[in-house]
Amino acid sequence: MAEFRSIAFVASDAPQAQEAFAELTRRYGKAPPEKADVIVPLGGDGFMLETLHRYLDRNVPVYGMHRGSVGFLMNNYGPEGLKERLARAEPVKLHPLEMVARDAGGTTHTALAINEVSLTRQGRQVAKLCIRVDGIVRMPELMGDGALVATPIGSTAYNLSAHGPIIPLNAGVLALTPVSAFRPRRWRGALLPQKARVKFETLEAERRPVTAVADYTEVRNVLEAEVRETRDVTITLLFDPEHNLDERVLKEQFLT
């Protein structure tokens, strides 16, 4: 069982998150996130992602508590017995995606994505993309609203809304999913090894501009973007045993 001597609480602007922050800091103190042994975000999944990005370089466990709207990545809220809950929490280790995108001005942008990297049309014209996997052209021309690459933990987010597959956390694959594909209309995407490198090339870029987004980083007028999982960064999430993330991912596949 892990022992955390200092706990940092961070909260979204939601009133219930602020109330929880006041209660928890009164009970357990207010360690700075830059020095704490564990960080506890209070809010929803969006705030959890913000927190993970903000403190990526800390490499400390993160134990979210649900005080927002969507709480798939969060544990249930409860102020009592937090240190005991942290001690018996189960870790889940994740690796984000790295996006390297080049825009029409020749500038190269690098960003990390915990959920997904998406390339979507920027204007009224549908996007036209060429997709390479490990240097081989697998989709010479995809027309539609765009496409995305999702991590297992991100497979239940935008990827699921685009009718992509839900991926168990330890499956060792990434989802490549089209967004409202017009041609080829019947293509539903692919499952790729986590080591795969996916490269998107924008076709007819001047007429059909495309935006690339890695979680919160947006790059407009993208000519090409390469996406891969990076093992240089490891994220550790903590979950109550009864709130096991693997089980919740499995349950999502049977919801009707």
The fold of the 97-229 domain, in CATH, is Tumour Suppressor Smad4 (2.60.200)
CATH 2.60.200.30 positions along the chain are: 97-229
Are 140 and 183 a contacting pair, CB within 8 Å? Answer: no
Neighbours of 238 (CB within 10 A): 22
Catalytic residues: 45
Class of domain 7-94+234-252 as given by CATH? alpha beta
- Buried (b) or exposed (e) across 137-164, using 16+ Cβ within 10 A? eebeebbbbbbbbbbbbbbbbbbbebeb
Model confidence, pTM: 0.90
CATH 3.40.50.10330 positions along the chain are: 7-94+234-252
- Give the pairing of strands 38-43 and 7-11: parallel
Per-residue pLDDT of the chain (256 residues; tens, 9 = 90+): 567 889 999 999 999 999 999 999 999 999 999 999 999 999 999 999 999 999 999 999 999 999 988 788 899 999 999 999 999 999 999 999 999 999 999 999 999 999 999 999 999 999 999 999 999 999 999 999 999 999 999 999 999 999 999 998 888 999 999 999 999 988 999 999 999 999 999 999 999 999 999 998 999 999 999 999 999 999 999 999 987 778 878 777 787 6
Amino acid 243: pLDDT? 76
